[in-house]
Structure 1
């Protein structure tokens, strides 16, 4: 078993043990309600990856009535991660707007690196957003 596989299994085991003991925190977001504007969500495609990432300093503003979002994504992991991220935009009623206009963007995140993610809504109707992150697995 190589080192990368051992680290993944160790992380999964720790998460499983914490879940069984009732001490785990919900890791689907990495951000707390206190640190993000209302309507912000951070979704990671699996718990192992979620444990390696943290979203912080989420800010938003309006430029020419378009919602502009900026957030810091930090790696809590010692090794490189190949990721993709996507902003999804929603109107006041919670309906996704311009869903075909939000492309997945590649991101190589080095060990313990922090990067700034920024995006502008594709329409003035956007009021809320969700940031999705998924891992690109080597084949």
Structure 2
């Protein structure tokens, strides 16, 4: 009887250890996915109305990683030709004030007809609560004065 109780205890403890090790480590990470009813357009800023008609945001995902807001924005072209673009993220605190947006570099992206791409951004500090992504067109010819 004593051996049966000892064997049962070993099996239970081993099971708990195995199941505990199989669980993913999620501390410091939380994920938030917006639903279909959410207004994704509030996250998009463009430098001209024509470009605004050629781009949409089809999905936005965000999570906190070690206190920093990490976002993944799905940008989709509704235009049949290629678009050469640049983008950068503007970061805002809980009260709506801009947080270090000038330090965020412009990144190039090219979208071919009706193509989608993921734009990824990581907030510069843990005070960030929301964001917008600013997109501008890259002119084909550089203008000289």
Structure 1 and Structure 2 fold alike (TM over 0.5): yes
Q: Does 1:53 align with 2:55?
A: yes
TM-score, normalisation: structure 1? 0.70
Q: Distance in 2 between matches of 1:123 and 1:74?
A: 28
TM-score, normalisation: structure 2? 0.68
Contact 2:89 2:101 in 1 (8 A): no
Among 56, 81, 84, the alignment partner of 2:83 is 81
SS in 2 for 1:54: strand
SS in 2 for 1:137: coil
| 1:36 positional shift | 4.4
> Which residue of the partner structure matches residue 43 of structure 1?
45
RMSD: 1.6
Contact 1:35 1:57 in 2 (8 A): no
Q: Distance in 1 between matches of 2:125 and 2:103?
A: 10
Q: Distance in 2 between matches of 1:36 and 1:58?
A: 10
| 1:44 positional shift | 1.0
Q: Does 1:34 align with 2:52?
A: no
Q: Distance in 1 between matches of 2:76 and 2:115?
A: 6
Larger Rg, first or second structure (1 or 2) = 2
* Unpaired stretches in structure 1, ≥5 consecutive residues: 1-32
Deviates more, 1:91-100 or 1:123-132: 91-100
* Unpaired stretches in structure 2, ≥5 consecutive residues: 1-35
> Which residue of the partner structure matches residue 94 of structure 1?
96
Cα shift readout 1:106-135 (whole Å, capped 9, x = no counterpart): 111111110011111011110010111111
Contact 1:89 1:128 in 2 (8 A): yes
- The structure where helix makes up a greater share of residues is 2
Contact 2:44 2:57 in 1 (8 A): yes
Cα shift readout 1:2-52 (whole Å, capped 9, x = no counterpart): xxxxxxxxxxxxxxxxxxxxxxxxxxxxxxx93247xx5211111111111
